[in-house]
Structures are given as C-alpha cells and as structure tokens.
Amino acid sequence: KQRQPVEEARPKTPVKPMTATEVKVNVSIPEAAERAAATGADGVGLLRIEHMVLTLGKTPERYIEQNGERAYVDEIISGVREVAEEFYPRPVRVRTLDAPTDEFRQLEGGENEPREHNPMLGYRGIRRGLDNPNIFRLELDAFRRLFDMGYDNVEVMFPLVNDAEDVLRAKEHMIEAGIDPDKREWGVMIETPAAALGIRELADAGIDFASFGTNDLTQYTLAVDRNNEHVAGLYDELHPAVLKLIGDTIETCREEGVKTSICGQAGSKSKMVQFLVDEGVSSISANIDAVRDVQHEVKRVEQRLILDSVR
C-alpha cells in the first residue's frame, strides 16, 4: 500500500462493488477494523469517533486542558488511521463527534456539562460542534492531517444537521482547517425531518452524499425516544412516515447528483434493504455481523428489479 502526499492525491476512484448498490459496514471501535474489512464491505459507511473520545475518560475540554490540543488530535488520528489503513483504498466515512451530554457527564470534567431534561433534543452533534468550534476544529485538523498522510480514502460526515446554514457553517470550518471540499468527499447525516424536508438546500450547499441516520430519524419523526423502554413498541423504522421522508430524499438526491446511503441500524434489516434498493439508494451500511446477509439481499432485490424491467 503506497501513500501519496496530498498534492498528488489520487482521483476519487470507487472500488468495484459486488452489486450495483454498494454494501458498506459501520464501525464504532477501531479494534473492529480488521473484522469489518474481512466482510468484503465496499467501505465504511459510518466510523464513529465517540468511543475514541469517551475512552479518554475525560471530557474533551478536560483532556485538552491537561494534555494539550496536539495529544487530543493524535488520539483521533490514531483511531481513524487504524480503520483507514485497514480499508485502504476503500472509502471510510468518518463522522464528527456526536455524544450527548449525559454520556460526557460520566467522565472526568463531566460536572461542567450542561444539565438537560432531554439530551437527545439537546447539545449534541453539529450543534455542539458549531457552538464550540475550538473542539470541533481539532477533529477537522485530525482529518486534514490524515489527508496529508495520504489517507485520501477518508470522507467527512456531519451529524444532526437541520438545514443549509448548519452545513455551510460546517463547510466553512472544514475550509479553515485546510480541507478542500471540492477535492474531498464530504456529506451529512439525515437524522431530522428538517434535514430530509430541506434536502434540496443541503444539496445546494455542496454535499457529495447524504446518509440516513434512521436511529435518530425514527425517534424525531415519530417523537419516540429511542432510549425509552415505555415507548419502545412505538419505535418503528419502517413507519410509513419515516419511509416517505427517506424515499422523497433519495428522489431529490438523484436529481441533484447527491449520493445516498443509510448508516442507522435499519440498514441491517431485510425489509429496509428491499425498500432502499427499490428506491435506488447508492449504498447501504450495515453492522459487521449483518454485511453478508445484506450483500445477498441486495443482490436478490437487484436481480428481481432487472427481471421486472424486462417483463
């Protein structure tokens, strides 16, 4: 595996998929990279960095206070690099930090976290990033340094955006961190009805891809807390309202030349896979243990679509 400096970065070359619809894998812990890559997935559809940060045992603010910014950036680089290396040249979508305040509260320094009645509706994802750019920028610095090291398979994804303003502000930070949005693949998660309904404006903001975070999209569409056992029976990722938001978003993205994907748990379920392939999604990212089944399900649905079209 030869790395190239960023000046001579390779063109964006997609890895040939087994199916027309790419099947990728979700990775939450860098140590799982090897097992994830062995599935034959076409890339990583979601690499979470929360585990890398939460295992420091301190809030980012406290960790940086004690160890400096450079050490924090190095921690992120080391975790992402493990996955980017294992998958190279297959693409790896890395998401900026998205931990709710109740998770930060468990850590040293957590006493300074805001007290929230409902952390899932609160200070997390891109809202926190934009409100606290000093920390957010360190994540982007880490990604930029990975590009400089030759990991041109890294892609940047922003969580919990609501509208084009969120996206344009995040993009501005990316540019200031030295990442050229025209040269790198970057995009957003579609996790709120607002993001799905405003997809045309998000596309205009320049995203390359939109990835459905159905864990959150379901809870916000149905007003069902994903962590509340009393309403767990109402939590339905295949609810017609959720599917309508997803279907309409895919259609607009196709018109706009934006790739679509799913990285929520529902991407591992066969009914959702059937729906998404029917709708023409570009890729599906599944849990490690589900990748093989999803690959077969995608193939089956694609073959049925071909047969239907010639009948």
Q: State the residues that interact with Mg ion by CB under 5 A.
A: 191, 213, 216
Q: Is the peptide bond prior to 60 cis by the omega test (within 30 degrees of 0)?
A: no
119 binds ligand PEP (CB under 6 A): no
17 binds, among Mg ion, ligand PEP, none (CB under 5 to 8 A by kind): none
Amino acid making up residue 5: P
Does position 191 bind ligand PEP by CB under 6 A? yes
143 or 147: CB nearest ligand PEP: 143
Contact partner at residue 187 from ligand PEP, Mg ion, none, CB < 5 to 8 Å by partner kind: none
Number of residues that bind ligand PEP (CB under 6 A): 10
User: Which listed range, 12-20, 103-111, 135-143, 208-216, lies at the site for ligand PEP (CB under 6 A)?
Assistant: 208-216
Nearer to Mg ion, 216 or 237 (CB): 216
Distance of CA 67 to the CA centre of its chain: 28
| Closer by beta carbon to ligand PEP, 164 or else 263 | 263
Q: Report if residue 287 touches ligand PEP, rule: CB under 6 A.
A: no
Give the containing element (helix H, strand E) for 24.
strand 22-27
CB of 305 to ligand PEP, least distance (A): 26
Site for ligand PEP in 36-55 (CB under 6 A): 46, 48
Asked if 264 interacts with ligand PEP (CB under 6 A), we say yes
Spatial contact of 37 and 86, defined as CB atoms under 8 Å apart: yes
Indicate the helix (H) or strand (E) that contains 93.
strand 92-95
- Asked if 216 interacts with ligand PEP (CB under 6 A), we say yes
Dihedral over Cα of 32, 149, 51, 122: its sign: negative
Residues 113 and 117: their CA atoms lie apart, in Å, by 13
Stretches 11-19, 209-217, 252-260, 288-296: which one binds ligand PEP (CB under 6 A)?
Answer: 209-217
- By beta-carbon proximity to ligand PEP, the closer residue of 147 and 186 is 186
The CA–CA distances, whole Å, from 41 to 1, 48, 93, 236, 283 equal 18, 17, 13, 26, 11
Binding segment for ligand PEP (CB under 6 A), chosen from 51-59, 169-177, 194-202, 214-222, is 214-222
Torsion of CA 85, 78, 176, 207, to 10 degrees: 50
Does 215 bind ligand PEP (CB under 6 A)? Our answer is yes
Q: What is the DSSP string of 141-180?
A: HHHHHHHHTT-TTEEEEE-S--SHHHHHHHHHHHHHTT--
Cβ neighbors of 309 (< 8 A, separation 6 or more) are none
**Residue 237 touches ligand PEP, criterion: CB under 6 A:** no
List of residues contacting ligand PEP (CB under 6 A): 46, 48, 98, 191, 213-216, 263-264
